């Protein structure tokens, strides 16, 4: 599934394993503009997708801190308030698309 964040298109891909580590269950690849999700139970995949979408939002809106600085409570509240609609919209589309795919598979 594809989505846009701050006019940049990303793609969500379900994979059997993430190349860097067996223990990773999700990863955002900014250069490739992809989110990789390890195929697991749906609840864990949705939780992981929300986490990875937060990474995308932070990156695309310039909030990614690479200097290991910490966020205070006001920063966190602002991030959640500003990113909430974006994350929920993408997750709802992802779930809807998965259900359509499963329904099409059953009809084949």
Q: How many domains does the chain have?
A: 1
pLDDT score for 50: 96
Beta strands in the chain (DSSP E): 2-5, 8-15, 26-29, 34-38
pLDDT above 60 for 99: yes
List pLDDT tens digits, range 42-75: 999 999 999 999 999 999 998 776 666 788 899 8
Phi, psi of 39 (to 5 degrees): -70, 110
Output the 3-class SS for 21-49.
ECCCCEEEECCCCEEEEECCCHHHHHHHH
pTM given for the model: 0.84
Burial profile 2-22: b = 16 or more Cβ within 10 angstroms, e = fewer: ebebeeeebebeeeeebeeee
pLDDT score for 72: 86
Q: Which domain holds residue 64?
A: 2-107
């Amino acid at each position: 599934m594809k989505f846009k964040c701050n006019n940049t298109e990303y793609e969500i891909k379900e994979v059997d394993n993430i190349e860097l580590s067996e223990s990773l269950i999700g990863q955002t690849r900014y250069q490739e503009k992809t989110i990789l999700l390890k195929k697991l139970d749906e609840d864990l995949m949705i939780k992981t997708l929300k986490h990875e979408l937060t990474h995308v939002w932070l990156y695309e809106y310039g909030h990614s801190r690479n200097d290991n600085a910490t966020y205070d409570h006001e920063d966190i509240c602002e991030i959640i308030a500003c990113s909430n609609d974006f994350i929920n919209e993408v997750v709802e589309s992802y779930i809807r698309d998965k259900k359509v795919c499963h329904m099409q598979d059953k009809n084949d």
